Every structure is written in C-alpha cells, then in structure tokens.
Amino acid sequence: MGSLNPKVELNGRVEPGYEKVAEAFLANFERHDELGAAFCLHVGGRAVVDVWAGATGADDAPPWQEDTLQLVFSTTKGAAAVCAHLLVQRGLLDLDAPVTEYWPEFAAAGKTAVPVGWLLSHRAGLPAIDTKLSIEEVLAGTPVVEALAAQRPLWEPGSAHGYHALTYGWLVGEVVRRVTGASLGRFFADEVAAPLGLEFWIGLPEEQEHRVTTLVPSPLVPPEVADNPTLAELIRKFTGPGSLLWRALSLEGAMELEDLPYNRADVHAAELPAANGITTARSLSRLYAGLVGEVDGVRILDPDTLGRARQPRSEGPDKVLIVPTRFGFGFMLHSDFSPMLGPGSFGHAGAGGSLGFGDADAGVGFGYVMNKMHTGVAGDPRTLSLIEAVRTCL
C-alpha cells in the first residue's frame, strides 16, 4: 500500500476507519527514530490493521517483510502466563496451592509456603540468584531452575512485589513442566500457538532463524539525560552492575543487555519463557484477541479464567523497578507505568518497546514489535501514540 511518510514504504492492510492508526505507525519513524517495526490490531476477533515498514537491521539490512520475525523480550511473559492459566482452567493447577505441591525441591531456604500465584505476581522474592552461571548454563535452563529451587528469597515472600525480569520464566515454566511433563515452550506451541495458528515461538526452530531481525540496542543513559550529570548518575546507580535491577535483568551478568546476546541464534533456540519469545505483530495481536474472545472459532481462556487472571495482585512500589507497578497473575495491568487502552486492558511490554495486550471491554487484541530498542521496560512513546490512535478510532 502507499505511504503517508515519503521516507518509509508502508506495507499491509488498513480497514476504513482505522487510517489514524496507520498514520501514527508511520509517524513513529520520523518522531521516534523507528528503524523497522510491525503493528497489528484485532477488533472483535478480526484484524483491522496489519502493517509493517522499515528495515530488519541497521546499515544495509533488507526491508521488513510480511513474515519477518521479532524477538520481543518480556512481552513473552504474557504467553507464559497464558500457559499457566490454561492449566488452571483445566483443573490441573491451583494458584493458591504451594509451589512445593508440584515442585518439591522448591521448599529449600524457607519457601515451603509460597503459593503458585506469587510466582505469577512477582511476589516470591526471587528476582535474582546468588549463583553465578555462564550464558551456556542459562540457555540450558536446568542450572537456573536448580539455583532458584535452592535460592533464599531476597525479601519475605508475599510481603512486597518486585519485577522478576528473567527468573519469572523459569519459575512459571518449571511448574508447567512438573504438571504436564512438557517444557513451557513445547506446551505453548501445542496448546496455544497451534489452535490459534500463531507464528510465535519460545524456543525458535532452526529453520525459522533466517526470518529474525537484528536488534539495535539503546544506550543505558538516554541521550536526552546524558547532559544532566546528576540524573545520569542516578540512573547508573539504580541500573548499573550490582544493583538489584541489573541482577534481575542480566541474571548476574550472564545475559547482559548491552552485550546483546539476544541476537544470537543459540539464544533464539533456547527457552527463556520470560524473555526470548519470537513472533510477529500479527500473531501477538491474534493471541490476545483469542483471550478476550473468539478468533476463527477459537478461544483459549474462558471469561471466568481470564477474569481471575487480570485481577490486581501486586500494586505500588516495585522493589526491583523502584517505580510503582501493577500486575495481575502474570500480566501487566493498565497503569501509569504500563499504559494500555484502559481499565479492562492486560498484557505485557518488553524491554526496548514491544507490547502485546488485550482489552476485554473493547474486544481488542494489540500487537507491536520493533527492532530499534528504546530505553525502558514499558510506556514507550511509540506504543503510546499507537494506543491513542486506536482509542480515537474505536
């Protein structure tokens, strides 16, 4: 299709009435230094916007295609949460039961009474581990699971919440594995992605690797802050090596974002259920459309299960991210930190800018993916402009 921005060729489809969404998508390339991206919006189970533009990497990278894949960091957490709630819906998992009912080894270091629900709502006190692991051990998964089982909580479980940036995936994933006998990536592929027809992997098959974009990192201290020494130093204090946020985001340095291991094929192939999901905007939007309603006759979670999943479970100051955050069971909820469409919204953002969410009130599925990372975990200006455009069109 034609372009509203002469510098970027817009591809895809926009139904009448949603032109402002396409305009906002294109404006991101001029206003927010977008490199390559895709966006999809479902309303009432039907895709009404499905667009892509830009390049798949820096320099002379090929243009973004309809089937280009993107790693979406913590946006993966929403997919992991769906797996847990599907087991709840089937009567195979009780969020109020102690984790040890499914994973006996988890009882070590005073964690006997921690319920499954606290893993999903970031209340277990396990955002980091004391064990120093190599990146190879992290990708293997089992060493991280064993370290988490042995780990003493960093605060009294249940007394507060703090973002379990990477550990969330292995904590929830191990419970899923103990219940089903399948890894979370395998369970998601068979029980969620296949029924909905998603191109969404947690553990990418080798034959799909050629479709994945190259991530372009952002500086730790944003350019607009670098000229303010006091503010720049404050950011380094809370995010630099040794800080709890750094420990949580990098797993003691093994997955240091500034080194960008997430461009590596072996990282794509591993299962990091909190951080390395690879998908398209189309499939991300379709996933959430299939949670709030039917898509081609398929709905993954029933209204009661979804209603419980998106009830607030953790609100207020976050011991890892410092600022106030708001979570249900595994999903970010609409808040100043993670803005979505409104009070009925639930989903998850990813480091650098990606975002997937559903809105039960509006019947919306929203999926945005990109390869130029901005600083931050949520509330990216590119998604804010898209959300406002969607709100206007609805």
Query: What does the DSSP 8-state code read for residue 394?
Result: -
Angle at CA of residue 289, ends 286 and 292, nearest 5°: 155
Residue of 3, 74, 134, 354 with catalytic role: 74
| Neighbour count for residue 6 (Cβ, 10 Å) | 7
Place of tokens 């709030």: 292
335 is catalytic: no
Under a CB-based contact definition with an 8 Å cutoff, are residues 186 and 193 in contact?
no
- Cα–Cα distance measured from residue 150 to residue 27, given in angstroms and rounded to the nearest whole number: 49
Structure tokens that stand for 133 in this block: 């692991």
Under a CB-based contact definition with an 8 Å cutoff, are residues 298 and 290 in contact?
yes
Place of tokens 């299709």: 1
| Neighbour count for residue 270 (Cβ, 10 Å) | 19
Tell me which H or E stretch contains 83.
helix 76-89
- Cα–Cα distance measured from residue 359 to residue 340, given in angstroms and rounded to the nearest whole number: 8
- Cα–Cα distance measured from residue 171 to residue 245, given in angstroms and rounded to the nearest whole number: 18
DSSP string, 247-275: HHHHTTTTT-GGG-GGGSHHHHHS--TTT
Counting beta carbons within 10 angstroms of the beta carbon of residue 105, is it exposed (0 to 12), middle (13 to 18) or buried (19 or more)?
middle
- Cα–Cα distance measured from residue 59 to residue 251, given in angstroms and rounded to the nearest whole number: 31
Supply the residues annotated as catalytic. 74
